[in-house]
Amino acid sequence: MEKVVSFLTALVMTISGFFFPQTGGEIYLLGESHSNATMTAKELELWGECYDQGMRDLFVEFPYYMGEYLNLWMDAPDDTILTQIFADISDTAGASQVVWDFFHTIKEQYPETVFHGTDVGHCYETMGARYLAYLEQTGQKDSEAYRITLENIEQGRSYYEDHDGDYAYREPLMAQNFQRAYDALPAGTSVMGIYGAEHTNPGELDPTGSAPNMASQLQEVYGDKLHSTDLTATVEETERAGETQTVTIGGQAYTAVLLAAYRRPATGEGEAYWQVPGAYDVAKGLPLSNIVYPLPNFPCETEQGQVYIVETTQSDGTVERNFCRTDGEIYYDMVCATGFIPEG
């Protein structure tokens, strides 16, 4: 019987390619609310999954020269560079402890990460000018990096001084900068990108409704190689953990304990994750269903030799309940929970 891999959608997992890209050259965009701790934690988790699969290039909503400074900092012995960056961006949403910790986790756990800044040239008078001077001092005035820095600075100056922060000006430049950085990578390279959600939903306009957003423009170039997940639509955690319910498995009654529950405010959809202590010995003898659940997709800790229930609430209020057990099954190189039929 063919198995169906269930990509639990709580927090993110609706892109099958995210965990096992079958081909190279994929672009995975995550749309966030800046400095949101829950979303940042999920981004780190996903980057860890991608990093373990060999991905190294992380695209971010920062200017080109901030990405280059972050790469210098990744190899630096202290936080001098990062401290200066945060001084430059002190009046922005990115200047938070959440973002500081995000960068440090990247440096400590994923040290080969390469940042690619693809936004227009914010902080062009401070960070931009300083990076330009750094290139001059290190004999790189004739380099491609110098040319891109000059261009990025001019983008920022025009954005703030001539276009008064107009998204219709910014979005095409973000797409252009992204395409240039991505196309410069070796053929077949897959990347992840983290941007504000207003930039990452294909088919949508910018927040003013005047121009296609960055993802829409990138989709025209890369087609189905572009994948996008809007974290802002998925991350409201409910305060139900610890609730119990009685369930029947193999003709015996058990108490299930709620581990985590999430809902999407915009649609009413949601997921709930229950553990059924003491039920594994009975459950392991029951017939299998055709569903497997990759354990990295669970928003809570799991253990082998346990029984879990995944409840999915649809927008019309209907609830689908699936039972699974952790037998240690490996599917597509990932440890999965195996679905089973509780009635036997």
**CATH of residue 173:** 3.40.50
Q: Find, among 320, 70, 301, 59, the residue nearest to 183 by Cα.
A: 59
Amino acid 333: pLDDT: 54
- In this structure, the answer to whether residues 68 and 197 fall within a common structural domain is yes
- In this structure, the answer to whether residues 90 and 184 fall within a common structural domain is yes
- In this structure, the answer to whether residues 109 and 257 fall within a common structural domain is no
- In this structure, the answer to whether residues 228 and 160 fall within a common structural domain is yes
- In this structure, the answer to whether residues 259 and 133 fall within a common structural domain is no
Q: Which of 205, 233, 261 is the last residue of a domain?
A: 233
- In this structure, the answer to whether residues 229 and 253 fall within a common structural domain is no
The pLDDT tens digits of the residues spanning 223-278 come to 999 999 988 765 556 667 899 999 999 999 999 999 988 776 656 777 889 999 99
- In this structure, the answer to whether residues 139 and 196 fall within a common structural domain is yes
Q: Which of 233, 262, 285 is the last residue of a domain?
A: 233
- Check if the beta carbon of residue 295 is closer than 8 Å to that of residue 262: no
- In this structure, the answer to whether residues 216 and 250 fall within a common structural domain is no
Secondary structure (3-state) at 63: strand
Domain count, the chain: 2
The pLDDT tens digits of the residues spanning 126-156 come to 999 999 999 999 999 999 999 999 999 999 9
The model's pTM is 0.67
- In this structure, the answer to whether residues 172 and 53 fall within a common structural domain is yes
Most confident among 138-142, 286-290, 336-340 (mean pLDDT): 138-142
Amino acid 296: pLDDT: 67
The pLDDT tens digits of the residues spanning 44-99 come to 999 999 999 899 999 999 999 999 999 999 999 999 999 999 999 987 778 888 89
Show contacts of 284-287: CB within 8 Å, 24+ apart: 284/325, 284/327, 285/250, 286/249, 286/250, 286/340, 286/341, 286/342, 286/344, 287/340, 287/341, 287/344
- In this structure, the answer to whether residues 31 and 157 fall within a common structural domain is yes
- In this structure, the answer to whether residues 88 and 199 fall within a common structural domain is yes
**What is the rounded average pLDDT for all residues in the chain?**
88
- In this structure, the answer to whether residues 149 and 224 fall within a common structural domain is yes
147 Cβ neighbours under 8 A, 6+ residues apart: none
φ/ψ (deg, to 5) at 47? -65, -35
Amino acid 16: pLDDT: 33
Quote the domain boundaries for residue 101. Answer: 4-233
Q: Which of 233, 264, 296 is the last residue of a domain?
A: 233
